[in-house]
Structures are given as C-alpha cells and as structure tokens.
A and B are shown apart, each in its own frame.
Chain A
C-alpha cells in the first residue's frame, strides 16, 4: 500500500538511495519523509522496546516522531532531511 508520484513542474533529478537495504529511486528536493510515504513505509520506529510502532506526525521538525537512521546516524528527522545520492535510510518499525 504505497503512495504515488504526481506530475510536478519542478521535480528534481532522480536520486538513487537505499531504504532498509532495498534500492529505491527518489528525486532531488524530496524529503526522506516524502520518499518513505511513497514507499508505503509509515511505521518508522518503535516508541521503545516492546512499544507500538510510531510514524511521522507534524512534518515540520518539531514533534521528533519521524526519527530514522540516515547514513548510519540515528535520530535524524526524516521530514527535515532531503534525499541525496547514495543515502542509506534505515527504519525500525518492526
């Protein structure tokens, strides 16, 4: 159950990234959050060990719910990070 891309007048160039080990094509200018939504990944992390999964909420960097690991660095806000070539994104929504 994933999203879809819409016609966009200023879509950037394609960017090759990896999401949980899987190669994904994103586009320059998109946030990691947007790409995750497109890929149907809504659950981004666990609220804590044994706690239910959580996903993004505010989309503007305030709520801290959209934290994912980017290029090995944990706790990066997906909504505040633009995709870049070769980016590795790991979520923990198991």
Chain B
C-alpha cells in the first residue's frame, strides 16, 4: 500500500471541491483533491450554467448567493474567458395572477435582502426577450443573474489550483477515513493511504457515503433534474430564464411532484439551449425518462413557441444534493475533528461555488470567514450524527 501525506484532503473534484482547492492555494495551502472518476463527473457536469439570485430564498440563502455572485467577476478575471461568464441578467417569468401576487411579495423580500431586482411588465419582458409568448404577464428582472459554463468553471478552478500547488488524484475513490480519539488521521483509497489531519467532504450527492466512512450521518438526498440540450443556434436568447413556477416547485415538493414544475432556460455560449428541469427523488439513477424529458418540453413550449422547430440532440440528468432545509452543509463537524462538510447545494452549486470555496479556505487557514459558517453547520439537523 502506497503511503503518502497531505495537509488537506478534498473529496470530490466537482465545482465545490475545485473551488475550495483554488481558494486554498491562494492562501498558500496545497490540498490533495481525491476524485473517484474525472473532474465534473458528477452534478457539476450535469447541470445548466445559471447563476441565479432570483431563485434563492430571502434570508440566509439569498445572502450567501449574493456574496458568491459578488466574487464571480474576480473569478472570471483570474480564470479567463474559457469559463464563459456572462452577467447577462435574468428573468423570472410570471404566467398568472397567483404567481404575480406571489412574486410581488418575494421581490419585496429579496430587495429587503439586498438583491437588485424589480418587477417588469409583459411588454418590457418581450422587449428584452422577443421570443417570450404573450401569455407572460410580467417578470422579475435582476441584472445580477448571470450565466457561466459549469464544466469549464470546474476545470478552470482545478487547473488554477494545480498551478498553485494542489494535487489531483483522479480515478481514486475514497474507501476509508481513519479517525482516532475523535479526530481525522488518514484517508484511504484502494491504492494508497494518505495521512492527513483535515478532510473536506465535497462529494455532492455522494456526501452521505463519505460521511459514513467517518461515522457521520449526512442528510443529503439526491434529487434528480433532467435537462434537454438542443442543437446550437445563433443567439436567440439574451438572458437566463426561469419560470416563477420553477422557483415555487423548488421549495414546495408537492408542486414538483404534481408535474407543475416550471422550467429553466438558457442559451450557452456554444449556442446550444439548455432546458430544464424535473425535480424527482429517484435515488442515484442518472438516466433520463420519456416522461421527464417530455414534461420539460411541454413546460417550456407554451412560453417559447418559437423553439418548437429546434431539434433536441441529447438529454442528461444531474443529481442535486438536497438537504431538508435547502441550505448547504458547510464547515466543521463536532463529532470528528478535522472532518469538514462542503456539500448539499441542491441545484445552486455553481452559483454558490465561489463563496463556499472562500469560506472553507478561510476556515482551514484559521481565519474567520467573511461569511459565517455557523448557520450552515451539520449540527443544525436534529439527527445529525451517528454515534
């Protein structure tokens, strides 16, 4: 068995693990990133690129997202144009009076929470996005909503981290975490044992498996989202788009189950349109289904009828790491010293990657993070840890 050592081990080379590695190297700390397959092989490679603030719950969730969004310009500067970051602004489309009433309230709450967002009338919506159908009454518009290429972001973060001294071990699943006297001692893969005092669980939907290796119960459940990808087209859409229903379904599982799930829509820089998305509890099944992909198509067509003649060339499904309260699980775990959580971003991983990376890196370096970790700790759940 190969023996090695590290100061910090990060489990998972998705966007979260890569962001943490990136911010750590900026502080002169060189983590070892352990990835069971390839970078972005999980949810970070099976999502759309919306960096949306309008979809965040006012309160802690929205605050976290605003902080993260603030760092994207700087990240884009550091990582380069390959991440395809576009501060294009976003529209939350409203289809009926009930949604209009709900969105008025939610916009007020979001504004109170510091988000620049306003309600705009249907004609203004169609001026901004000519392909939107007449049935849209109004929309929330935020200039802060943005788009990025999620795979490119992950790879760029990882590349920059490695340039800064981080190491990546791909194809190495973590199969054991050794603890003694209540603290982390080492991490084991089939090929080697790594003596390390700090392990960051950035394994996304698979965070519970990693937690169990350390004797920690992690209440993350995979929530599948199926997306459609169309053939590339010249620019048709200028903003990121979601329906008000999409946000409602996010926070109300009943709505999602009944098929009233709304949609999300963006045009990537490559020209392909990405249309999402279901919200299903289907275990770790990453297949797409006739029912799912047809439901997504059915949801978006009434609002964007002009897209009917664009071919869908592929579909994929990603597993959102869902937590009971919709907030990620971040920071130290009381029962195992040195075991840190950084997972549970439920469909907001891309948007929250920057702030997550910074917070965890600050904590590991012994600084107090500019955004407190306390409210996101694992202990907030009543059945937090195994004995």
Direct contact of A and B (CB under 8 A): yes
Q: Which residues of B contact A (CB under 8 A)?
A: 231-232, 234, 311
B312 to chain A, nearest CB (A): 12
A7 to chain B, nearest CB (A): 40
B234 adjacent to A75 (CB under 8 Å): no
Expressed in whole angstroms, the Cα–Cα distance for A13 and B229 within the complex equals 42
Is A49 positioned at the interface, with any CB of B under 8 Å from its CB?
Answer: yes
Expressed in whole angstroms, the Cα–Cα distance for A49 and B232 within the complex equals 11
Expressed in whole angstroms, the Cα–Cα distance for A75 and B230 within the complex equals 13
Cβ–Cβ < 8 Å partners of B234 in chain A: 49
Cβ–Cβ < 8 Å partners of A75 in chain B: 231, 311
Expressed in whole angstroms, the Cα–Cα distance for A81 and B311 within the complex equals 18
Cβ–Cβ < 8 Å partners of A49 in chain B: 234
Expressed in whole angstroms, the Cα–Cα distance for A49 and B234 within the complex equals 9
Q: Which 4 interchain pairs have the tightest Cβ spacing?
A: A75-B311, A49-B234, A75-B231, A48-B232
Name the residue on A nearest B231 (C-beta): A75
**Chain B interface helix/strand/loop/mixed:** loop
B300 to chain A, nearest CB (A): 20
* 4 A-B residue pairs with CB within 8 Å: A48-B232, A49-B234, A75-B231, A75-B311
Cβ–Cβ < 8 Å partners of A48 in chain B: 232
- Chain A 63-94 interface 0/1 with B at a Cβ cutoff of 8 Å (1 = within): 00000000000010000000000000000000
Name the interface residues of A20-50: CB closer than 8 Å to any CB of B.
Answer: 48-49
Expressed in whole angstroms, the Cα–Cα distance for A44 and B28 within the complex equals 55
A63 to chain B, nearest CB (A): 13
Expressed in whole angstroms, the Cα–Cα distance for A48 and B233 within the complex equals 10
Cβ–Cβ < 8 Å partners of B231 in chain A: 75
B257 to chain A, nearest CB (A): 36
Expressed in whole angstroms, the Cα–Cα distance for A58 and B338 within the complex equals 57
B258 to chain A, nearest CB (A): 35
Expressed in whole angstroms, the Cα–Cα distance for A66 and B106 within the complex equals 50
Expressed in whole angstroms, the Cα–Cα distance for A75 and B309 within the complex equals 11
Expressed in whole angstroms, the Cα–Cα distance for A20 and B382 within the complex equals 71
Expressed in whole angstroms, the Cα–Cα distance for A75 and B231 within the complex equals 11
A66 to chain B, nearest CB (A): 15
Expressed in whole angstroms, the Cα–Cα distance for A56 and B342 within the complex equals 49
Name the residue on B nearest A64 (C-beta): B313
Expressed in whole angstroms, the Cα–Cα distance for A33 and B234 within the complex equals 27
Name the residue on B nearest A74 (C-beta): B309
Name the residue on B nearest A75 (C-beta): B311
Expressed in whole angstroms, the Cα–Cα distance for A49 and B231 within the complex equals 14
B109 to chain A, nearest CB (A): 44
Name the residue on B nearest A48 (C-beta): B232
Name the residue on A nearest B234 (C-beta): A49
Expressed in whole angstroms, the Cα–Cα distance for A75 and B310 within the complex equals 10
Name the residue on B nearest A73 (C-beta): B309
B174 to chain A, nearest CB (A): 40
Cβ–Cβ < 8 Å partners of B311 in chain A: 75
B271 to chain A, nearest CB (A): 8
A33 to chain B, nearest CB (A): 20
Expressed in whole angstroms, the Cα–Cα distance for A48 and B231 within the complex equals 12
Expressed in whole angstroms, the Cα–Cα distance for A49 and B233 within the complex equals 10
Expressed in whole angstroms, the Cα–Cα distance for A76 and B274 within the complex equals 23
B151 to chain A, nearest CB (A): 20
Expressed in whole angstroms, the Cα–Cα distance for A75 and B233 within the complex equals 12
A9 to chain B, nearest CB (A): 38
Expressed in whole angstroms, the Cα–Cα distance for A48 and B234 within the complex equals 10
B57 to chain A, nearest CB (A): 41
Cβ–Cβ < 8 Å partners of B232 in chain A: 48
Expressed in whole angstroms, the Cα–Cα distance for A48 and B232 within the complex equals 9
Name the residue on A nearest B311 (C-beta): A75
Name the residue on A nearest B232 (C-beta): A48
